[in-house]
Every structure is written in structure tokens, then in C-alpha cells.
Amino acid sequence: MTVRDVLGNSEIPRRDAEFLLLHCVGQADRGWLIAHNLDEVPIQALDDFKAACQQRARGLPLAYIVGRREFWSLSLAVTPDVLIPRPETELLVEWVLEHIGPEDGKSMLDLGTGSGAIALACKHDAPSLTVTACDISARALAVANKNALDLSLSIEFLQSDWFSAMGDRRWSVIVANPPYVAHVDPHLSQGDLRFEPQGALTDGSDGLGAIRRIIEESPEYLERGGWLFIEHGYDQAKAVNTLFKARGFADISLRRDLAGRPRASGGCWQ
């Protein structure tokens, strides 16, 4: 079958079919599909494509089918043990990088690193930054560690339930994309979220449980003048601001995503 016929006969949305076929033939650029429209698809690639389409038809996220997702221009391995990195999380990376500037000697802790996305992106752009990343899940840490090795980025990984394994250490910056979806949120049973680790998405209660704990405990792990940056839901900005204030943080500020929705909050510990 030709590329054109394979795409024409597939039963999943066209863009998904194109993405999966490119993956199965080992190409990355959509232009290849046009240039090779009338080429025969090799039999192995065709079998792989059919299997991938079946997975997609069952709802499996594209990132899990191909085992990769781009984040901050880095290609990361992802498995169902980690949340699929999202573009809005790049806001946190931007914020950390702006904040640390070109100075040496700064350190960062990424809480609940998952695939390692935030830690790896920050280390990639700020090689002199000392980066620690933790996760409660050993399986997530295995994925993050593989990504660090593949990208030759040096990160210290720790298995930890938030700060439980951090002892008396302190960092210049603490960053987190914690589970913040309320357990009653219907999105948890829709689309990609159905296949992602629930522990990375929801705290099992109102969506603010992990955020509360991180804001409460982080001053014990921040250097004087250090910053905490947290991603949260677009409707949680006010509650998160109140938590930062109540804990005694200064210079509390908010960042919005490309759609203008509040997405991340930060504060300075003095």
C-alpha cells in the first residue's frame, strides 16, 4: 500500500495517523509524507502502524504509543509511569531560568520530577545550575534517569515523598508541577488523562493538598532569598496566593499561559 492509501484508509483522525505513520517509517518531518505520497510503505512499518492505530483508537495518548514527547526542544522518553510533559509547564522553566540568571553557584530542587522534564530543561539551559530532582515513584525516576543519561545531563535523583528524604539541605530554587486536579474533576476520566498516573494528576481530594504541603514545608528547604515556583490549575491562583501569603512568602507573583490563564505562582522566602 502507498503512503496515500495507508493514510486514506486509516480510521483515526488524519493528524494522528500522519504522526504515527511518520514514527513507524522512522521519519520526523510531515514534508516526507507529501514527498513520498506514492511510495509503498514497507510491510513491517505497515504492521507497526496498524498496531499503533489500534492503540490510538482505544484512546492511548500518542506520547505513550511512540514513547516520546518534546519538551523545551528536548526529546524525552515517556512511559505510562510518568505524566506526559505539557507545553504550559515550560512556563516554570522560563521562570526559573530568568530568575537564576547567569550567576554560578545556584541550586534547584524539582519536586515530583516525573519524566524529568523541568529538571532536564533547566539543566540544559543553565549548565552551571546544580539540579536535584525527586519523585515518590521509583518507576518515574527510572524514566527520568534514562532521559538524563540520553541527554548527558547531570542531575541528582532522589526517591522522596515531597521533602521526606531531603534532610537539612537547602536550595536556591524549588520548583514543582504537583498533582493539582481535584479528584471529582471529570477531566480525569477523559482523553489522555485516563491513561496517565493518577498520582501525578490528582491529590485525591480538592486538588490543593500537594500544593498546601509544598508551600508549608518549602521554607525549611530554601536558602534565604530563595524562590518557590509552583504550577497550578487556572482556577487555583487565588487559593495558591493565599497559601503563599499565609506562610509568610514575599514578592508573590503569578504567570499566565499563552491563553492568558493563570498557571504558575511563585514567592520569595526571606
Choices 73-81, 103-111, 151-159, 177-185; region in contact with ligand GLN by CB under 6 A: 177-185
C-alpha cell at 231: 504550577
Interface with ligand GLN in residues 76-135 (CB under 6 A): 86
Q: Choose between 3 and 81: whose C-beta lies nearer to ligand GLN.
A: 81
Choices 53-61, 178-186, 211-219, 243-251; region in contact with ligand GLN by CB under 6 A: 178-186
Helix axes 237-247, 209-217, angle to 10 degrees: 30
C-alpha cell at 123: 539543566
C-alpha cell at 177: 508541577
If binding means CB under 6 A, how many residues of this protein chain bind ligand GLN?
8
**C-alpha to C-alpha distances, 227 to 99, 101, 157, 210, 220, nearest whole angstrom:** 9, 13, 20, 18, 12
Interface with ligand GLN in residues 188-207 (CB under 6 A): 193, 201
User: Pick from 77, 136, 181, 268: which binds ligand GLN (CB under 6 A)?
Assistant: 181
180 binds ligand GLN per the rule CB under 6 A: yes
User: Pick from 177, 218, 236, 265: which binds ligand GLN (CB under 6 A)?
Assistant: 177
| Residues 244 and 72: beta-carbon distance below 8 Å | no
d(CA 204, CA 214): 16
Choices 143-151, 159-167, 171-179, 240-248; region in contact with ligand GLN by CB under 6 A: 171-179
Shortest separation between residue 178's beta carbon and ligand GLN, angstroms: 6
265 binds ligand GLN per the rule CB under 6 A: no
**C-alpha to C-alpha distances, 233 to 109, 155, 169, 248, nearest whole angstrom:** 21, 28, 29, 22
